[in-house]
Amino acid sequence: MFGLVSRIIYYANLRRAAGEDVTAVSKVPSTPRDAQGNPISLPPSAGDTIELCAGIVDKKGASPEQTAVEEIFEECGYRVSVSDLKKICFVAVNVGTSGTYATVFYTEVTEAQKVGRGGGNENEDERIELVFWPIEDADKLLFTSETGPSIPTSLLFSVLWFQKNIQPHLLPVS
Superfamily in which the 2-32+39-169 domain is placed by CATH: Nucleoside Triphosphate Pyrophosphohydrolase (3.90.79.10)
Predicted pLDDT of residue 7 = 60
Extract the residue ranges of the chain whose pLDDT is less than 70. 4-32, 42-45, 174
Q: Specify the pLDDT at position 41.
A: 75
pTM of the model: 0.78
Q: C-alpha distances in angstroms, 157 versus 74, 88, 129, 153?
A: 23, 10, 21, 6
Q: Are 127 and 15 in contact (CB under 8 A)?
A: yes
Whole-angstrom Cα distance, residue 48 to residue 34?
A: 22
